[in-house]
């Protein structure tokens, strides 16, 4: 029996489970036929996890825990993920709101035009009011004139900052994580220790595992191991990110999301706390600028 370093050996013996050949499908009305127990594969371990706030009629979803220290994929076990975080309704409308907000809150428009009073000149009446047979005009910088001012034109700087409601941000994250898992683009690894600091190692690993060209690797802390930082430094489409930086836009942008085992715990804990928060006043109140 292969024992991975992330699980304690005592738990192993206690929780050797029958390996079901396919991950069970989740339906409200369980009409799936009972499969006869296949012979147990003793290498596959369902790691016990204490899932808080488990909903009544949803089962936890299972994912493989993989390794990164070899190029070929090595399955170390199965962990169960919380259905309220990783198997919610994929609300693409909420995801769109999040992506739009992330683009806009830091965008400042520098488009600028001058009004008729800001354009230089134009103080004098161009020609007398009467007697010339021409149209009456008071200024050559009037918006009717070529080279005149612009009516209601853009003024610079125009910040587009706004705040998205707290629960739209939280639900955006859960929807996005669920979509990544449902589309088989979410992978859990035990840690991000790799044996070499060569970019070629990461490139080959991604190719052999059929991960999308762009990969986002999430770890619990922002001080990552040296080898993986050196290896991914040169590759622009493989990025490292701590859990506190996890966001909808980056998850949308990268094809594959790779979470470490510790990151899964932290993400789940933070999002569940957000979803079951006792006092939401300070989170859902109106956003104030210049707050200390």
Partner 1 sequence: MSTMSLLAKTSKVLLETCYKNISTKYTPLRFHGFFNSPFLEDVQIKARYEVTKSPEDWKYVERILPPLTVPELPQREVFISDFKPQGENHKHKPYYIARTRNHMIPVYLKIKQRGVKKLSYIRKIQGDIWLLQKELEKFLQPMSKAPLRMQVNEFAGTIIMNGDYVNAIKHWLKENDY
| Block residue for tokens 């989170």 | 283
Q: One symbol per residue from 67 to 106: x for binding partner 1 (CB under 8 A), - otherwise; what is it?
A: ----------------------x-x-x-------------
| Complete DSSP assignment for 237-270 | TEEEEEGGG--HHHHHHSSEEEEEHHHHHHHHHH
CA distance 126 to 41: 93
Spell out the residues 6+ positions from residue 49 whose beta carbon is closer than 8 angstroms to its own. 60, 79, 80
Distances (CA, A) of 140 to 112, 113, 123: 20, 17, 8
Q: Candidates 23, 273, 283, 287: give the one binding partner 1 (CB under 8 A).
A: 273
Nearer to partner 1, 99 or 238 (CB): 99
Q: How long is the chain?
A: 292
Nearer to partner 1, 127 or 161 (CB): 161
| Residue 158 near residue 107 (C-beta atoms within 8 A) | no
50 is a site residue for partner 1 (CB under 8 A) = no
* CA nearest neighbour of 4 among 41, 38, 58, 46: 46
Q: Candidates 1, 132, 223, 292: give the one binding partner 1 (CB under 8 A).
A: 292
Q: One symbol per residue from 232 to 251: x for binding partner 1 (CB under 8 A), - otherwise; what is it?
A: --------------------
- Distance of closest approach, residue 102 Cβ to partner 1, in angstroms: 22
Q: Candidates 56, 124, 152, 285: give the one binding partner 1 (CB under 8 A).
A: 56
- Distance of closest approach, residue 50 Cβ to partner 1, in angstroms: 15
Q: One symbol per residue from 15 to 34: x for binding partner 1 (CB under 8 A), - otherwise; what is it?
A: -------------xxx----
- Could you list the residues that contact partner 1 (CB under 8 A)? 28-30, 53, 55-57, 89, 91, 93, 272-273, 275-279, 290-292
């Amino acid at each position: 029996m292969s024992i991975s370093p992330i699980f304690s050996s005592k738990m192993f013996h206690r929780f050797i489970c029958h390996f079901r050949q396919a991950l069970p499908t989740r339906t409200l009305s369980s009409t799936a036929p009972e499969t006869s127990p296949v012979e147990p594969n003793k290498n596959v371990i369902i790691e016990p996890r204490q899932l808080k706030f488990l909903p009544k009629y949803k089962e936890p979803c299972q994912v493989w825990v993989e390794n990164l220290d070899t190029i070929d994929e090595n399955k170390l076990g199965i962990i169960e993920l919380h259905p309220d975080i990783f198997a919610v309704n994929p609300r693409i409308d909420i995801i769109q709101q999040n992506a739009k907000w992330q683009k806009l809150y830091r965008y400042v428009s520098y488009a600028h035009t001058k009004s008729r009073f800001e354009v230089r000149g134009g103080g004098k009446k161009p020609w007398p009011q009467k007697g010339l047979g021409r149209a009456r005009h008071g200024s050559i910088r009037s918006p009717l004139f070529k080279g005149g001012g612009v009516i209601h034109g853009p003024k610079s700087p125009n910040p587009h900052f706004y705040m998205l409601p707290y629960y739209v941000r939280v639900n955006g994250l859960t929807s996005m994580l669920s979509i990544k898992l449902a589309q088989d683009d979410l992978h859990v690894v035990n840690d991000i220790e790799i044996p070499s600091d060569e970019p070629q190692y990461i490139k080959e690993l991604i190719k052999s595992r059929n991960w999308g060209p762009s990969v986002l690797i999430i770890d619990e802390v922002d001080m990552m191991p040296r080898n993986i930082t050196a290896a991914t430094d040169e590759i622009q489409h493989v990025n490292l990110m701590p859990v506190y930086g996890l966001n909808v836009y980056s998850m949308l942008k990268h094809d594959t999301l790779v979470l470490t085992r510790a990151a899964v715990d932290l993400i789940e804990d933070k999002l569940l706390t957000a979803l079951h928060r006792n006092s939401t006043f300070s989170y859902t109140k109106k956003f104030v600028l210049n707050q200390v």
